[in-house]
Amino acid sequence: MTERPGDAFPSHMTPVLVAHGTRSAAGVSVVAAIADLVSERIGRTRVAFVDVLGPNPSDVLSELDGPAVVVPAFLAAGYHVRKDLPDHVAHSGHPDVTVTPSLGPDPALAHVLYRRLIQAGWRPGDAVVLAAAGSSDASACADVGRAAGQLADLVGVPVEVGFVTTASPTVPEAVAAARAHGTGRVVIAAYLLAPGLFHTRLSACGADAVTDPLGADPAIADLLVSRFVAAATSVSTQTVR
């Protein structure tokens, strides 16, 4: 029998997927669908949200017995990953929690973005703007820049970065810059995990087309599983030593 990536995740550990949270029912459903895909690979995966709705990570972790592995399903390591999540872990009182790096940036995400671009009607020669949520954390913005570089390697043209909120340039500014530099259409690649207010705003940013969010894609689930398994393996190795 061929071993699946999820087979390496220990059954005595609980995987916890942490997302931002949204008031969009569609967005919540997408996060649940992603968790379901992960659960199919490594067993029941709990879901927590750091903002907008519950349960929050502290609530989930405080209910668990045994070690837990937490993956922040964020596309950049901003304030929620660096500050909010560690605070929740500490507040939970759980003595055995391993937190992995954030979901993005990662080449696997760039490949999903590339497929979303093609689905949205992008053609070679069209300019691309990577639209991200935005953060006051400079390192998070740098993460988005790295994601744009990974996507640029696939589309073969430079990818402008625009932020929906907080950071600059804004998405409309990035779209205008891309249009000024080229002669073709401009397509926004939505660097967002799930639908919600931010994705809705992109339709009014002046582009010729906007992709769907990354969504409940098997490649996203596989990337999450790789985060869970790598963390669990590291913990097990340290325990043996």
- pLDDT exceeds 90 at position 101: yes
pLDDT, average across residues 93-113: 97
- What's the number of CA atoms in the CB half-sphere (13 Å) around residue 173? 9
d(CA 10, CA 23): 34
Kindly report the pTM of this predicted structure: 0.93
d(CA 68, CA 146): 29
pLDDT, average across residues 139-151: 97
- How sure is the predictor about 241, in pLDDT bands with cuts at 50, 70 and 90? very low
Identify the weakest region by mean pLDDT among 28-32, 98-102, 182-186.
Answer: 182-186
Across all residues in the chain, what is the average pLDDT?
Answer: 93
- How sure is the predictor about 182, in pLDDT bands with cuts at 50, 70 and 90? confident
The helix (run of H) or strand (run of E) holding residue 230 is helix 218-240
Identify the weakest region by mean pLDDT among 1-5, 147-151, 236-240.
Answer: 1-5
- pLDDT exceeds 80 at position 185: yes
d(CA 14, CA 22): 24
| pLDDT > 90 in the chain, percent | 89
d(CA 189, CA 122): 10
- pLDDT exceeds 80 at position 2: no
| pLDDT > 70 in the chain, percent | 95
**pLDDT tens-digit profile of 26-82?**
999 999 999 999 999 999 999 999 988 999 999 999 999 999 999 999 999 988 899
